[in-house]
Structure 1
Amino acid sequence: MKFRIQIIPHLHNLTTTGTVTITLNPVEDTSKIIFHVNNITIIKHSVSVISTKPKSSPITINDQDYVEGQKYRIMLNENLEIGEEYLLGIKFIGELNSHLQGFYRSRYNDEFGRER
């Protein structure tokens, strides 16, 4: 699996926006994609799945939502096939929190004692 991610911090309101493209290589045929999320809002209409085969059309998404255990589930209209490669595209909104996990904010004092 490969990830290409862009995160844009918005320091005025301590949020982030971003996009991620995840390269998927299924190890079995499946019509379900599940991944972990924590304090991230997925922009549902932005989610897309497409084969990397030339002239492929996006795969229809039947359902998508958050599920128990800080996970997000995408149900597809057709199977992702073993041995093929797919691109999962997502836009999201996050929070710049101070929990020291993921993309977070922190403070420090520079050499002149100024808080940064």
Structure 2
Amino acid sequence: MSHLDDPFRLPRTVLPYRYEVSLTPDLEAATFTGSVSITVTAFKATEIVLNAIELDIHSAAINGLDVPFELHEESERLILTAPYELSDDSRITLTFSGILNDKLRGWYRSTFTDEFGRVRTIATSQMQSTDCRRAFPCFDEPDFKAVFAIKLTVADGLMAISNSKELQREINPDGTSTIWFADTMKMSTYLVAFVVGPLEATEPVMVGNTPVRVIHIPGKSHLTDFGMRAGVFALEWFEKYYGIPYPGDKVDLLALPDFAAGAMENVGCITFREVLLLVDPATST
């Protein structure tokens, strides 16, 4: 049976349950390199079919063995030929590179002009509904829920945000920083988010044990008060209404200069069109 027999749904012979994603963006060149290690449960699988598009795949391995692969662009699928019939747990390891596109989807480029007249770049993401495959190879259908461990390596002076709190940071010999983020809850690929750029954050406001921040471009901290108050109120209200503590470890509200949707409910990393989150009290009512 070919994976093309069903052009709309991936085979269910391989189910992911953990991703370890490592990404290094180059904001000036609008490119990135990366790797992903996916732990899966296989059911008598002789090939692995996942999603990828607008990526150059450099290597593929299953359980440490290099395997042949094919990127089928029309169906946005990456097909790996297994070295033997796979059952139980297996590990897929892929290396790749890609572009920070100008399509406002996947991992894309957002720009703004700073106070000195320089054009600055932010690498930000919008994965809903099926664009996580533009950032890293994945099983990009919402029922393929898994845990995501994100690692970002970024240039000096840049902020990096993802779905979960920062766990560890190391400064590398070349001056870049590598940041590890806590594991996410089990979730769909369309909720994965990572943002890198010359950004600033407000001081956190605690809602129970959950810190809430507003992330913005430099020079706009005076516009964050309304968004912060609304976010804190909403989180407190929903926790009380449902009687369930917020299941994540933080809530960041990100104001982005270029964003196609009004907002996106990425777990712990909620992105907004800038004009819908930042409010000038002198001119707004």
Q: TM-score range by the shorter chain?
A: 0.7 to 0.9
Deviations 1:15-67 (A, max 9, x none): 100010011112x2111101111101100xx31111xxxxxxx3462x31112
Match of 1:9 among 25, 30, 41: 25
The structure with the greater share of residues assigned to helix is 2
Equivalent-residue separation in structure 2 for 1:10 and 1:60 (angstroms): 28
Give the Å deviation of 1:109: 5.2
Q: Structure 2 stretches of 5 or more lacking a match?
A: 1-16, 121-285
Give the Å deviation of 1:3: 0.9
TM-score normalised by structure 2 residue count: 0.33
What is the identity percentage for the equivalent residue pairs of Structure 1 and Structure 2?
24
Q: Which amino acid aligns with 1:40?
A: L
Equivalent-residue separation in structure 1 for 2:48 and 2:35 (angstroms): 17
Partner of 2:108: 104
Equivalent-residue separation in structure 1 for 2:28 and 2:116 (angstroms): 23
Structure number, greater radius of gyration: 2
Match of 1:32 among 47, 60, 71: 47
Aligned residue pair count: 102
Equivalent-residue separation in structure 1 for 2:94 and 2:66 (angstroms): 14
Are 1:49 and 2:85 counterparts? no
Partner of 1:85: 89
What is the root-mean-square deviation of aligned Cα atoms in Å? 2.0
Is the CA contact (8 Å cut-off) linking 2:20 and 2:38 kept in structure 1?
yes
Is the CA contact (8 Å cut-off) linking 2:46 and 2:82 kept in structure 1?
yes
Q: Which amino acid aligns with 2:29?
A: N
Q: Structure 1 stretches of 5 or more lacking a match?
A: 51-57
Equivalent-residue separation in structure 2 for 1:60 and 1:104 (angstroms): 30
Deviations 1:5-24 (A, max 9, x none): 01111123211000100111
Partner of 1:75: 81
Indicate how the Cα distance of structure 1 residues 17 and 4 shifts in structure 2: closer, same or farther if over 3 A, else same: same
The secondary structure found in structure 1 opposite 2:111 is coil
Structure 1 runs of 4+ off > 6 angstroms?
Answer: none
Equivalent-residue separation in structure 1 for 2:29 and 2:65 (angstroms): 35
Give the Å deviation of 1:113: 8.8
Partner of 2:219: none
